[in-house]
Amino acid sequence: MKPSLREPAAQDNEGAILQFELDDFQIETRDALRHYLEKEVAPSVDSYEAQAKPAPPEMIAAMRDYGLLGGLLPESAGGFNLSMTTYGTLIAEVARVWPSLRSITSTSNLAASVLADAGSPELREKYLPRILSGKSVAAFALSEPNIGSDAANVQTRAEATPDGWSVNGRKLYISNGPICELGVVFVKAAMPDGKQGVSCLLFESDMEGFSCTPLSKMGMHSCPLGELLFDGVRIPATNLIGAPGNAFSLAKKYLNVGRCVVAFSALGIAEVALEAAVRYARDRVQFGRPIGAFQLVQQMVADMMALVETSRLLCYRAADALDRKDSQSSLWCSMAKRHATDAVLRVAELSLQVHGGAGYTSLFPVERYYRDARHLSIAEGTNQIQSMLVAQHALGLSALR
């Protein structure tokens, strides 16, 4: 059953004690999504991942009905105006079942958010319905061969032409790249004062001069990764998103949201890895009793439980800060992203260890949990970058300049 995606109006909670419990709307929405995922998605995951087949279009489109496409966007832009807490809860739910589907959907949603935030009315009217319906998969093209977290120094160039822009450069490690129909690309371009600044343009994959090379990777095989090549791609002037040279702040804003999304994704995988370990420790019998009765196995389970719960608390804390537009939201997002993505690797590793030799095979899904989680400590800024950003808040000293 599809949920009613109209969230109750947020209450003014200034100065209130944070409540880390889901309300009735969030529980109903989560449970409806969980039912769909268990019935319609879960049976296909292992087959698609083994063949590195992208998640099918009908499943991507179905995410619209459950708030994953357009969840954070205002209703005026075709979204559901969900809180970050609600959206994050849904992200974790999809990540529990199929991290590749989560990545495809949230990447498309990230591009849609940029377009809804700073795109012209004409651009929004033309492209947002395609993305939010799931009919078109979108990419967020920021990273380059020599540029990762240093977004202010992108090297892809956009030169002004009489009718728009000519774009030349390469973007690397781009989720959805091989299957995207459109996307947002961050480029270095001249500003009105003649200086160079970061601008954002909307591109379509059928534009002449655009190509994508798929990249093999360790996990999440059903969410294609690619290197994008812009070889004199002509992009109309009307496809500029925001003001020329002012896209760096736009990129930073949505990287912040992206870090919270990644943290919730890690939480979802950690939850299901813990559940798998508990289930196996109860069922597996050695020396005449379940292995869960042995103290060292209990130690691993206790460690996993603590890591999952601390991740959950930091995810909710970061989401709450974003919902309240707290000036410290970037700190909480970096902390949540760093902790949750480190934690999920340890939880997945311990879950695999509880499974013993069986965990190392594809007979059980725990080996996939580890592979699927591994990139999360790298995505949206490595955890080493997050550590520096967190420490900077306390010390007032930057390690980057």
CA 347 to chain centre: 20
What token pair was written down for 330?
């970037």
Q: What is the pLDDT of residue 251?
A: 83
Q: Which pLDDT value is given to residue 16? A: 45
Q: Distance between CA atoms of 127 and 116, rounded to whole angstroms?
A: 10
DSSP characters over 2-52: -----PPPPP--TTPPP--S--HHHHHHHHHHHHHIIIIIHHHHHHHHHHT
Taking the domains of the chain in order of start, what are their residue ranges?
A: 24-132, 138-245, 249-395
What pLDDT score does 15 carry? 44
Residue 211, H or E segment: strand 210-215
What is the structure's pLDDT at 98?
A: 98
- Which residue in this structure is represented by tokens 């371009």? 189
CA 332 to chain centre: 16
Confidence bin at 304 (pLDDT 50/70/90): very high
180-205: average pLDDT? 91
Percent of the chain with pLDDT over 70: 96
Q: What is the mean pLDDT of residues 292-302?
A: 98
- Residue 399, pLDDT above cutoff 90: no
Q: Judge residue 136's burial from the number of C-beta atoms within 10 Å of its C-beta, 0-12 exposed, 13-18 middle, 19 or more buried.
A: buried
DSSP-derived pairing of the beta strands 182-190 and 157-161: parallel
Q: Tens digits of per-residue pLDDT, 12-43?
A: 444 444 567 889 999 999 999 999 999 999 99
β-sheet bridge partners, residue 147: 144
Both structure tokens of 103: 């990545």
Residue 10 has pLDDT above 60, yes or no: no
pLDDT in tens, 317-335: 999 999 999 999 999 999 9
Amino acid at 286: Q
Supply the DSSP string of 221-278, one letter for each residue. TTS-EEEEEEEEEEEEGGGEESSTTBHHHHHHHHHHHHHHHHHHHHHHHHHHHHHHHH
Among candidates 387, 373, 385, which has minimal Cα distance to 92? 373
Cβ(166)–Cβ(233) below 8 Å? yes
Instruction: Report the distance separating Cα 314 and Cα 48, nearest Å.
Output: 32
Residue 35: how many CB atoms within 10 A of its CB?
13
Express each pLDDT in 234-286 by its tens digit: 999 999 999 888 888 888 888 889 999 999 999 999 999 999 999 999 999 99
pTM more than 0.75 = yes
| Residue of 195 and 161 predicted with greater confidence | 161
In the block, residue with structure tokens 């940029």: 114
78 contacts 129 by C-beta, under 8 angstroms: yes
What is the rounded distance in angstroms from the CA atom of residue 372 to the CA atom of residue 95? Answer: 10
Residue 99 sits at the vertex; the CA angle it makes with 98 and 104, to the nearest 5 degrees, is: 105
- Which of the residue ranges 2-16, 133-147, 303-317 would you say has the lowest mean pLDDT? 2-16
Q: Which residues contact 177 (CB under 8 A, 6 or more apart)?
A: 139, 141, 171, 212, 214, 224, 225, 226, 227, 228
Q: What is the pLDDT of residue 1?
A: 53
Residue 339 CA neighbour count, 13 Å, CB half: 21
- Residue 85's pLDDT band, with cuts at 50, 70 and 90, is very high
Provide the 3-class DSSP secondary structure of residue 368: helix
- CATH 3.40.50.720 fits domain 249-395: no
Homologous superfamily of domain range 24-132: Acyl-CoA dehydrogenase/oxidase, N-terminal domain (1.10.540.10)
On the question of pLDDT at 11 being above 80, the answer is: no
Q: Is the pLDDT of residue 207 over 80?
A: yes
Inter-axis angle of helices 295-323 and 84-97, to 10 degrees? 140
Predicted confidence at residue 161, as pLDDT, reads: 92
The CATH architecture that domain 138-245 belongs to is: Beta Barrel (2.40)
Q: Which residues are catalytic?
A: 380
